[in-house]
Amino acid sequence: MFTEDDLLPLSALQHLLFCERQAALIHLERVWAENPLTVEGRHLHERADGGEGESRGEVRVARGLPLRSCRLGLAGKADVVELHRLAAGEPGACLPDVAGAWRPFPVEYKRGRPKRHRADEVQICAQGLCLEEMLGAPVPAGALFYHQTRRRLEVAFDPVLRQLTEEAAARLHRLFDSRLTPPPVREPKCDRCSLLPICMPDAPAHSARRYLDRLTRQALIAEPDGGEVP
């Protein structure tokens, strides 16, 4: 179990699975840069998790709900958590001053369209695992709403996805514990990254190391008065 001081950003899981170097630049080196894609995504999240909660018949909606899991060592915020009323006798979450049992259903809003990798699925599954720990109730599924397609994709939190999510959380903690930023690797996905000018994956390999080695050699052969040995 992790302590409150050990909790890492839940959103970093998506960065980690997209690119470990990106995760390190953002969360270890505190580097950030905007591009049209990130601005559009930020505005989408602000619209989704802003405002008051609401009730729609047998469904209650909470927005911007804080999340945490001391088991996984994660903390964050859900865009939307729907709470669906369950039939009598079904196991679910109890809400303050509200009768009955309720099943949490997290919904994450994304700018683009469904992806080939599972980073978005891991992020929404992590939200579900946080809700299970916080509310003591099963959370079997959640959803990803993609703005570009205007469709909701339901995600089942099956054993495979749960294991992948737990492994990603452990990997994220190892990255933070190492305090090391991985070297750049040029891939096609780099073109969509707002950190491309900072990451510089196209820079010649080891150019920084060669530069530092040259400075070290110059310092070693310099005379005390600042001159150089012929």
Radius of gyration of the chain (CA): 23
Asked if 190 contacts 196 with a C-beta cutoff of 8 angstroms, the reply is: yes
How much of the chain, in percent, has pLDDT values that exceed 90?
50
Check if CATH label 3.90.320.10 holds for domain 4-187. Answer: yes
pLDDT in tens, 83-94: 999 998 888 998
Mean pLDDT confidence for 57-77 = 95
Distance CA 22, CA 32 (A): 10
Map out the domains of the chain as residue ranges: 4-187
What is the pLDDT, as a whole number, of residue 173?
Answer: 97
Q: Write out the two tokens for 26.
A: 């953002």
What is the pLDDT, as a whole number, of residue 37?
Answer: 56
DSSP 90: -
Mean pLDDT confidence for 81-104 = 89
Residues with Cβ within 8 Å of residue 185, at least 6 apart in sequence: 21, 201
Mean pLDDT confidence for 149-156 = 93
What is the pLDDT, as a whole number, of residue 38?
Answer: 58
pLDDT in tens, 153-198: 999 999 999 999 999 999 999 999 999 998 888 888 888 788 878 8
What is the pLDDT, as a whole number, of residue 196?
Answer: 79
- Determine whether 78 is exposed, middle or buried from the number of CB atoms within 10 Å of its CB (0-12, 13-18, 19+): buried
- Lowest mean pLDDT, pick from 52-56, 63-67, 104-108: 52-56
Please say whether the dihedral angle defined by the alpha carbons of residues 39, 195, 117 and 122, taken in this order, is positive or negative. negative
C-alpha 7 chain-centroid distance:
13
